[in-house]
Amino acid sequence: MDSGRVEDTDVPQWVNDPSPAPPQGFDDGGDGHDWDAMPEGAAAAWSRGRAHWGRRVLAAVGVLLLVLIAAGVGAVVWVNGHLTGSGGAPVTVTVPAAAGHATLAKLLTEAGAVQDSWLFRHYLDYRGTEAPAAGEYTLHHHEGYRAALKDLSTGPKIVQVRLTIPEGYDLKQIAAAVGKLPGLSAQRFLDDAASGQVRSRYQPANVTSLEGFVFPDTYFVDQGETEAQLLQTMVDRFDQVADAVNLATPSTGLSPFQTVVAASLVEKEAKVPQDRGKIARVILNRLNDHMRLQIDATVEFALGVHKTRLLDSDLAVNSPYNTYKIDGLPPGPIASPGRASLAAALNPTPGTWLYYVLISPDGEHGFATTPAEFNKLLAEAKAKGLR
């Protein structure tokens, strides 16, 4: 019986579809079915569905853009935070030679100077940073990439060690002092001294030893400085002092090299400043009189040991440095003379002395011209327990 009610089955499915598509057969492209031919309810429903999905798409795009913008701002803030940093307590970083970007990033991150090894390495790549010089650098905790790069570009801090060589040290003693410095070797120093690569301008062509030409002074040795570089500095210093005292033009009749030898004897024998010129005069007078020098310090050099008192057997040692057995000067210096001893050998105190004897515990010598005067001084020294 027809009650005037439309059965549900007579309602098209697309009207109730939450995601309506155009009715079957609808084509807005001019195939004979157009919007105006649709039933009024169907057209409205399809229009509402399409608007609903359009709003969803727009909302999703908006959210995505907000997320991207937020991520971009966050990335900028994060990167800028690493670039500027906050700075903090000083940190020391030791950079090896030819360190690459990965090594630098690792070292600075481990030291706490920068916070992200990966980002800092890529920052170095971006900036095209060259490998910094090897050495120690002072940076600051979390100081930022720009500041870290600036610190690296200023070069390593100068780390120096003080080295004092006393007057009268021989080459082996100097080498032993050098060998006590971090990273340096006494044997390498001696090898460099014997190599002939470092020479003094006052060293004769036939003399291969640098004994006497390594100037006793205080030096400040840089970190990483080699034995050869230090040796060159010491020899250059000798040449500088020798120039200042006019070693090239001695007026004593000795050559510059012989003057250095005589100065080394003065350095080892004189214990107080006022004796230097007098001992130099005794050496020169004995040479002029063709007397053997008979200087104990030359025997000690020949023996290779220092002795408070020499024995008769010591004085008999066969050596070209034993001035009890050879005539004239020994073949080379026996120690490194200081400026005062070089000056004394160049300008001996005027006098006729041929002998000197230690007469005071403070190192003062008495000087004599005749054997009788010498024996008197000798007796005086024995009475004081000095012989």
Residue ranges and CATH numbers for the domains of the chain are 84-153 (3.30.1490.480), 160-244 (no CATH), 256-383 (no CATH)
- Quick check: 154 and 139 in contact, CB under 8 A? no
Query: What would the mean pLDDT of 239-267 be, rounded to a whole number?
Result: 97
- Is residue 8 very low, low, confident or very high in pLDDT (cuts 50, 70, 90)? very low
Query: For 92, phi and psi rounded to 5 degrees?
Result: -105, 130
Query: For 160, phi and psi rounded to 5 degrees?
Result: -120, 150
What percent of the chain stands above pLDDT 70?
79
Token pair recorded at residue 32: 């004979």
The confidence score (pLDDT) of residue 65 equals 75
Query: What would the mean pLDDT of 329-357 be, rounded to a whole number?
Result: 98
**Each residue of 198-246: pLDDT tens digit?**
999 999 999 999 999 999 999 999 888 999 999 999 999 999 999 999 9
Query: What would the mean pLDDT of 16-26 be, rounded to a whole number?
Result: 51
The confidence score (pLDDT) of residue 135 equals 84
- pLDDT exceeds cutoff 60 at 81: no
- pLDDT exceeds cutoff 80 at 47: no
Most confident of 130-134, 159-163, 318-322: 318-322
- What 3-state DSSP class applies to 297? helix
- Quick check: 191 and 209 in contact, CB under 8 A? no
**Each residue of 83-98: pLDDT tens digit?**
555 567 998 898 998 8
Q: From residue 139, how far is each of 71, 80, 101, 108, 152 by CA, in Å? A: 31, 19, 17, 9, 8
Q: From residue 295, how far is each of 84, 254, 300, 305 by CA, in Å? A: 71, 18, 9, 15
Q: Are strands 135-140 and 90-95 parallel, antiparallel or unpaired?
A: antiparallel
